[in-house]
Structure 1
Amino acid sequence: MKNRVEGLTGIRGVAALAVLLYHLHFNPAFAQYNFSLTSRAYLAVDLFFILSGFVLSMRYDGLRMKSDAAAYFGFLLNRIARVYPLHLVVVTAATVRLFFGTSGSGALLTAPQLLANFTMSEAWGFGTPAVSGALWSVSTEAMAYLVFPLLTTLARVRPAWQTIGLAVIGYGTIAVFGDGSESMMDVASLENSFPLFRCLCGFAVGIVTHRAFTEGRLEAMRSDRSFYAVLLALGVAFMVPNSDLAIVATFPALVVALAHDGRAARAVFGNKVMAYLGLISYSLYLWHPLARDGLGHAYAIAQTHHVAIPIAVVVAVYVGGMIIVADISYRLIEVRGRKIVLALRTRVMPRRGQEDRRAFAHDQVGPAGADG
């Protein structure tokens, strides 16, 4: 299997744009606008988690509890280089905004909150709010990285049906007791550990899905017909009320259909436009709450001065502006940040650092998402 599958990258871009539009009405200036096509986009976070588990297994399937410490810390450093530079910049920008902006003041920023946000641990069940709404899912993925060898070991030593059964029980528990805000699976409150549990369930599903994929159990899904059938099933599930669990259950099939890299999958999600959106999806995801609130402030000022701006224009400016911001952010922060971290690694451990730099050429995992 190829190290990089463009369809798996492209679907991240689509999901990130859906989250971007879904969160628009969370700003009071846009409260009356809620786009039906993205009304369940909070589930994109679950797709991100499953994708991360699957794609990380592609790159690091040999990482187990018995792996040597150098391999484990090399993996962690790769993940830090991938996600932390942009996370650090966004947390800093959000903190400055809270301190000086109209939405908050320095009194809201406690030392535990700042420590948790800067160490990516705000969603680990400590009750520490995120300084920006998109950060919680990145924090849960950070924990998933820490326990990734444990998850891969359990997925390999136990029968697949047991892992899937535990994931089903986990998702059911989240749906019943997680107190989702918009719906049963929209669990993102940092007052408890359910968001973290949600992420670990998704990772486990992604890992066991990759196991079944590599063992040849899912060859029947290689055809273009199977890919279109998955899309149809997903579309039907989205139209059924209260079907969050059914939608999440369809995500592994979508990931497998894309991983087979068939002609239809490449045409729909692996084309150049989709692949580009997937490439910048992490920046799209992390910056969009700050951009949305800035746009909302400008929109409210326009309304105060009786300037009528069609919502279609607002959405076009929002999406277009976010793509430009994300492109700049990807090139100046993500790419350069990775190089800086890996350069430091190369100085400390030259041989391992060179291996890590080669690995980054194919590392396509990012919690664009992650947020949701």
Structure 2
Amino acid sequence: MKSRDAALDGVRALAALGVWLLHVGSNTGVMYRDGMYAWLMARLGIAVPIFFLLSGLLLYRPWARAVIENTARPRPLPYLWRRVLRVMPVYWLVTALALWAWSGLDWAGRLKWLLLLQNYFPGDPTPDGLYQMWTLPIEMAFYVTLPLLAWLLDRWARRGGNRPVRLLAGIAPLPLVSVASVMVARLGDRPEVGLWLPYHLVFFACGMAMAVLSVWLRESRVVDALAPQLLVLAFLLYALLSTGLAGPRELTLPTLGQSLFRLSLETAVAVLVVAPFALAPREGTLRHRLLGNPVTAYLGRISYSFFLWHAPVITLQLKLTGAQPFQGDFPSVAVVSLIVTLLLSVGSYHLVELTALRLSGRRRAPAPLPAAREAAPAAPAG
């Protein structure tokens, strides 16, 4: 159980580093150069679907267990209170500093950002150093929606028959909401829909389905036996994702076909990356030793702070060096931003995040990614 927890922490750590590398590459212009390396870097946004899938897996698992094993269901209000204390304090710290340093927004605009409402006002400018924060309103929308989804699935599954199967059947239609949202965004010329939960619901739904399987099957021998092949397949699909078939690298909007293709590939890659660790937690395997070592596990625990700090640090570094847009020095930006962000993340994790966890009623701070049998939800980091 401990190994599985550590390995999932390692997955989160690698995803957080992927987001950081994506933004170093974009701010220095490396991401927009010719060659496959640049394209592979441009698709490191795959970390976001992985984070969303992990949220669905970890947060829904107690509800899935309640249905399958007849255990107590989580109470919505304490659950939401823990979510707020887990996510908001360090978010307020980083966002308030960035708004104070670089934002020209009025008090109403600043309030939108502090309340995670920025995605619902697409015409407002994005302050410097906060361009990565678009994922958090989506996460928070899922947090708020999950108790209702879980209640509906609970009632559906308890009507009779095989409860795990009925849960999976109830989750199955949720990806269609994402498909419909993509169609609205592209055919209706409504790009702001891409900043809302329905557009990304497929990733959360896959995590919820994986939560059901992790409770139902405990450990899948098939997934364990095929884990190396699944991870290789994930890389091959990521390489396919890193082509023009999935849309442009620039801010130009993709076509409907490109958007659906990208959504499908991102879903497949996220599932293939997480499944070997969530559904086959066999201690001692190479994959667990690589991602479950103390270094990567600790990086996974501080990954939320790392995600919040890395963009303001990159922004400050570029401003201090006077670098022109998309023309910064990649090696120096990468090295300095990584070191500074890690130091800030360690500080905010221990001083802010753990303090908030204690206020939420937890006697000891769990790792952001819990073990299979004792799910404890984690903060977002993507």
TM-score (structure 1 length as normaliser): 0.77
Q: How big is the shift at 1:235?
A: 0.6
Find out whether 1:366 has 2:379 as its counterpart.
Answer: yes
Residues 140 and 195 of structure 1 are in contact (CA less than 8 Å); yes or no, is this contact kept in structure 2? yes
Q: What pairs with 1:261-276 in structure 2 (closer than 5 Å)?
A: 261-262=281-282, 263-276=285-298
Tell me what 2:253 maps to. none
Residues 119 and 196 of structure 2 are in contact (CA less than 8 Å); yes or no, is this contact kept in structure 1? yes
Q: Taking structure 1 as reference, are residues 273 and 68 closer, same or farther at Cα in structure 2, changes over 3 Å only? A: closer
Residues 133 and 308 of structure 2 are in contact (CA less than 8 Å); yes or no, is this contact kept in structure 1? yes
Q: How big is the shift at 1:310?
A: 5.6
1:5 alignment partner AA:
D
5+ residue gaps, structure 1: 100-104, 180-186, 343-352
Partners of 1:130 and 1:357 in 2: how far apart? 38
Q: What pairs with 1:179-194 in structure 2 (closer than 5 Å)?
A: 191-192=192-193, 194=195
Find out whether 1:252 has 2:274 as its counterpart.
Answer: no
Partner SS state of residue 123, structure 1: helix
Find out whether 1:75 has 2:43 as its counterpart.
Answer: no
Tell me what 1:31 maps to. 29
Find out whether 1:90 has 2:94 as its counterpart.
Answer: yes
The percent identity for this pair of structures is 25
Partner SS state of residue 131, structure 2: coil
CA offsets per residue over residues 223-255 of structure 1, 9 Å max, x none? 2x4221111111110111325322312322432
Q: Taking structure 1 as reference, are residues 125 and 147 closer, same or farther at Cα in structure 2, changes over 3 Å only? A: farther
Q: What pairs with 1:1-372 in structure 2 (closer than 5 Å)?
A: 5-27=5-27, 30-34=28-32, 35-59=38-62, 61=64, 71-99=75-103, 105=104, 108-109=105-106, 111=108, 113-124=109-120, 131=127, 132-156=130-154, 157=156, 159-160=166-167, 162-163=169-170, 165-178=172-185, 191-192=192-193, 194-216=195-217, 219-223=220-224, 225-240=225-240, 241=243, 242=246, 244=262, 245-259=264-278, 260-262=280-282, 263-300=285-322, 311-339=330-358, 341-342=359-360, 353=361, 356-357=362-363, 360=366, 363=376, 365-369=378-382
Q: Taking structure 1 as reference, are residues 334 and 319 closer, same or farther at Cα in structure 2, changes over 3 Å only? A: same
TM-score (structure 2 length as normaliser): 0.75
Partners of 2:193 and 2:106 in 1: how far apart? 19
1:118 alignment partner AA:
L
Partners of 1:294 and 1:172 in 2: how far apart? 38
Q: How big is the shift at 1:58?
A: 3.3
Q: How big is the shift at 1:284?
A: 1.1
Q: How big is the shift at 1:70?
A: 8.8
Q: Taking structure 1 as reference, are residues 205 and 297 closer, same or farther at Cα in structure 2, changes over 3 Å only? A: same
5+ residue gaps, structure 2: 33-37, 158-165, 247-260, 371-375
The range that moved more, 87-96 or 147-156, is 147-156
2:198 alignment partner AA:
F
Partners of 1:163 and 1:173 in 2: how far apart? 18
Partner SS state of residue 210, structure 1: helix
Residues 283 and 330 of structure 1 are in contact (CA less than 8 Å); yes or no, is this contact kept in structure 2? yes
Partner SS state of residue 116, structure 2: coil
Q: How big is the shift at 1:334?
A: 1.5
2:347 alignment partner AA:
I
Residues 53 and 206 of structure 1 are in contact (CA less than 8 Å); yes or no, is this contact kept in structure 2? yes
Partners of 1:69 and 1:235 in 2: how far apart? 37
Tell me what 2:258 maps to. none
